Structure 1
Amino acid sequence: MKLEIDNLSCGYNKKAALKNISLEIGPGEIVCLLGPNGVGKTTFLKTILGFLDPIEGEVRIEGKNIRSWPKKKLARYVGYIPQAHVSPFPFSVMDIVLMGRAAHIGNFSKPSAHDYREAEESLDKLGILHLRERIYTELSGGERQMVFIARAISQKTHILLMDEPTSSLDFGNQARVLSQINALAATGLSIIMTTHAPDHTFLCSAQVVLVCRKNEPRIGNAEEIVTENNLHGAYGVKVKINESYLDNGTKIHSCIPLLDN
């Protein structure tokens, strides 16, 4: 299933935060949005989700403009994982994951046995089925993020939007979440994610939208866009990008900010 972003400008009160974004995302592709705080990355996701109307341009799924789609219809196509947070209510993990089935359940209906099976399969796919009876608020940050991914999987969408999916996670949990993102893309899911870590674009073999405060967004593959000059222009700090090779010949990149003395 193809997602098309056509000359999209988005923002609040008709004041555009992001302008003239055009890209196509097919099955199994990952797009990373990079850029400093406040340039409109989350606003971009909210526009795709239908929470905000575009100022200009269109968002299309399979060639159809989604602007007039009911929210429940859109939820069958697009899933969303927000920035890490803790629910104020002590829901169980199973309750959280079942919320992903809302798009498939009638307004006055209860989750069916099929919905419970879908939720359990989502947890099992991520290797966290043992958490199903745990209280969500008592989990670690990495576990909570995995539960949110399971909720999105249970939604059975074709497109997944992720807002800083590794924020506040330790080094190991960041790696685990990125591995799951790659695994989901390998199943044919289209993924758009925001991140503050340029390294993630290489680890996910992603298309990149690099947003600067003054210049037009730069769009292309990671090796084209995530360069020392472009990162310096976006973030205002000098960056060194090192390249090295694994034993199997795979090239890896690391982006290192250079601190002023």
Structure 2
Amino acid sequence: MSIEVTNLSFAYGNREVLRDLNFSIPDGCLVNVLGPNGVGKSTLFRCILGLNPHYSGSILVNGKDLRALSVRQRAREISYIPQSHASVYDYEVIDVVLMATGSELKLLGTPGPEQLQRAHAALERIGIEHLAHRTYTQISGGEQQLVLIARALAQNARTIIMDEPTSALDYGNTVRVLSCVRQLAREGLSIVQSTHNPDHAFLYSDQTMVLSEGRLRAFGDPKDVITSELISELYHVEVEVNSLYGDKVRVCVPLSEVD
């Protein structure tokens, strides 16, 4: 298993945010996490990444207890792609990707030929090798998000956490990023990403996790999990789930817009 979570709870002071979560994510699986704002999605990710260490319960990453791992050891097991990344300096794209290899270097060390080769291979795998020597701050938002995916690959971790990776992207770049992520899962990586769009879960995920008020409301095949009743309850918008193309695709339609 890529991630195993048992009896996970977390609180900010007296405010409990996560309550007794139990789930496991197999290797080579793309999981979409759904839920309204404030239900604990980002907090869950921070616990899995070791950024919120004061949780109760246990988290295993690739069979290893998260609490027993150092920062360097965690970086070898799991990588993180934030919603957006604003670079302070005008780094070249290849330098942004090379930052992922820092856990392998000694203090004040510099990447060597092996790390450079891996960074170029990651860019090529994502299909953006031609951007290697472009300035990161001067490429589009969609291209920047693909660079962050390449950086996660160069980190050489088996598991990737993505926090709303398409929240600021246009339609075309959203499709490109999510198609890329799905392909990486098919190649054996385990990827957990949050989204506010149920249609993304239908189109791209192997499994869908639904959080509600800090609890695990549902987890499984998106066609079983995402129902019109559940989405209407979660988001307080009455929807109908429709099937298209012989049930290869399902979409949520807000009924208020078609009445």
Give identity over the alignment, percent: 39
Equivalence for 2:103: 103
User: Map of 1:70-149 to 2, 5 A cutoff?
Assistant: 70-149=70-149
Summarize deviations over 1:153-186 as a string: whole Å, max 9, x none: 0001010000001111111111111111111101
Give the residue type in structure 2 aligned to 1:99.
M
Give the alignment partner of residue 253 of structure 2, picking from 244, 252, 256. Answer: 256
Query: Structure 1 or 2: larger helix share?
Result: 2
Secondary structure of 1:208's counterpart equals strand
Shift of 1:43: 0.8
Secondary structure of 2:4's counterpart equals strand
Summarize deviations over 1:227-257 as a string: whole Å, max 9, x none: 1100111111111211011xxx561111222
- Equivalent residues of 1:34, 1:195 under 8 A apart: yes
Give the residue type in structure 2 aligned to 1:52.
N
- Partners of 1:232 and 1:196 in 2: how far apart? 13
Q: Where does the alignment leave 5 or more consecutive residues of structure 1 unmatched?
A: none
Give the alignment's TM-score, normalised by structure 1. 0.93
Equivalence for 2:19: 19
Summarize deviations over 1:126-173 as a string: whole Å, max 9, x none: 111111111111111100000000000000101000000111111111
Secondary structure of 2:168's counterpart equals coil
- Partners of 1:211 and 1:259 in 2: how far apart? 25
- Equivalent residues of 1:98, 1:119 under 8 A apart: yes
- Equivalent residues of 2:30, 2:206 under 8 A apart: yes
Give the alignment's TM-score, normalised by structure 2. 0.94
Equivalence for 1:173: 173
Q: Where does the alignment leave 5 or more consecutive residues of structure 2 unmatched?
A: none
Task: Note if 1:243 corresponds to 2:243.
Answer: yes
Secondary structure of 2:43's counterpart equals helix
- Partners of 2:184 and 2:214 in 1: how far apart? 34
